[in-house]
Amino acid sequence: MAAVTMKILFVTYSHNILGGIEVWLDTLATHLTAKGWQATIALARGSRFNDPERFRRQWPGHRYVEIDGRTGTNEGRMLAVTRVIERLEPNVVVAVSLAHALAATGRLKLNRFPVKLVMPIHATSWQAFEEALSFSSVLDRCIGVNPLHAEWLARSGFPKSQLGTVINGARTFQVARRQERAASEPIRLLFVGRIHDESKRVFDLPAIATELRARGIPFRLTVAGDGPDADQLRQRLNAEFLGWVEQAELQLDVLPRHDIILITSPLLGEAGPPLVALEALAAGTVPVISDFIGVRAPGSIRDRETALLFECGNTTQAARRIEELYSDPALWQRLSDAGRETAREFSLDHSLECWNEQLTEVAEQPPLMPMEGTFPLAKVEPSGRLDRGGLPPTVTDFLRRTLRRYPSFPNGWEEWPGTIAPPTQPTTEQLAQLKLLDHQIAESRQNSSVLARSILRPEGNSD
């Protein structure tokens, strides 16, 4: 008898097409297809920002469908996701930073529709934690890319048997030879990533440059990437701007021409060391990186072993770390050599296969079916005048679609929200606990024989 093809449906936004999550989705869908899965990517469509065609052009070669949420209502978005799931009948739905995919799949589960639901966590985000806890009764698996995620959720009451971790890996290209810097030459600095101050603190770069000049440190700075704050950064920073750079060019040409990769991320928000940090390690480019929550736990970034860390937002300290590497070539060489060795333990192929193992395990288990009343977000509040006028949500969605009365939103995330749990902020004590846990996990993993064990469960894998 022929083996049954497992079907997986990734449901995601389409307003952002160039970033780490998009690279992850492209490579994972390709890997799963090669492993025999039927992988489909459902792209959110909005009235302005979420444009599936633009996404498909950037990432060709996949099976795509659209989820039309132009009516802009909670009910309209959930209905759009529901129709696609009912039509395709996937074994597994993976909600990639799209809140209404969680809500729609959860509601189908309440109606006994036999589907499994997976939520990946790609950021150490307090709202993502709250979202996962809100949907714990319908999530067959919540998979973080940092061991900190599963450990924190388990301590917050999420069932341990429904948690997992797959640590990010990077595809690395063999660099024949680095372009080494002569002692008399300026130190070569590189920033790679989305040019967005809220998520990357890119406006710290001008302050670091000013501090370096004040210290008399000769340097050249290159910026690779694009984003909403690119124009403003160009006005404030004297640097070479490359725009978006393809991965092969980045690893074979750009990274080997630089001594330091500068990563200025804020305290909370990154999943862990960005993929480009792993790529930099593989190329022998030393990270000078902010000590954000989650940077240590995966094990690739170790202060004064593979990188130099500085306090988030402390641009003076960041400049001092750069000065250390400029003034001490032996220190730079030691970190560069250790980084190359460490990068071998965090391969993309290993990470992708761990995702395959996790998803296969979920697909082969019976679906988690919640009891009535255990899923708080299955019902939503009215979100427009027609809804508040007493018409059923399905009728208001039909009228808006028929009349093409589509609302406008200020950005892609409001057009198709990433989370719908009520926004909350962690307390100072909770941030301190997260920071401590990040350090504790890092120390524990460093003492283990294999740093990059990519499938992990929280301690005591029982409920």
State pLDDT tens for residues 106-138.
Answer: 999 998 999 999 999 998 988 899 999 999 999
Cα separation of 398 and 380, whole Å?
A: 17
Cα separation of 459 and 68, whole Å?
A: 41
Mean pLDDT, residues 327-336 taken together: 95
Q: Return all residues near 300 (Cβ < 8 A) that are at least 6 apart.
A: 273, 277, 278, 281, 306, 342, 343, 345, 346, 451, 452
Binning pLDDT at 50, 70 and 90, where does residue 451 land?
very low
Binning pLDDT at 50, 70 and 90, where does residue 453 land?
very low
pLDDT at position 384: 56
Per the model's pLDDT, the better-predicted residue between 449 and 398 turns out to be 398
Average pLDDT, the chain: 88
Per the structure, the count of domains in the chain is: 2
Question: For 145-176, what is each residue's pLDDT tens digit?
Answer: 999 999 999 999 999 999 999 998 887 766 65
In a domain, 450, yes or no: no
Question: For 276-324, what is each residue's pLDDT tens digit?
Answer: 899 999 999 999 999 999 999 999 999 999 999 999 999 999 999 999 9
pLDDT at position 375: 62
Contact of 289 with 277, CB cutoff 8 Å: yes
In a domain, 91, yes or no: yes
| Same domain membership, residue 162 and residue 193 | no
Cα separation of the two ends of the chain = 37
DSSP state at residue 3:
P
In a domain, 195, yes or no: yes
CATH code for the domain in which residue 133 is found: 3.40.50.2000
Q: Which domain holds residue 156?
A: 7-169+351-415
| Same domain membership, residue 215 and residue 155 | no
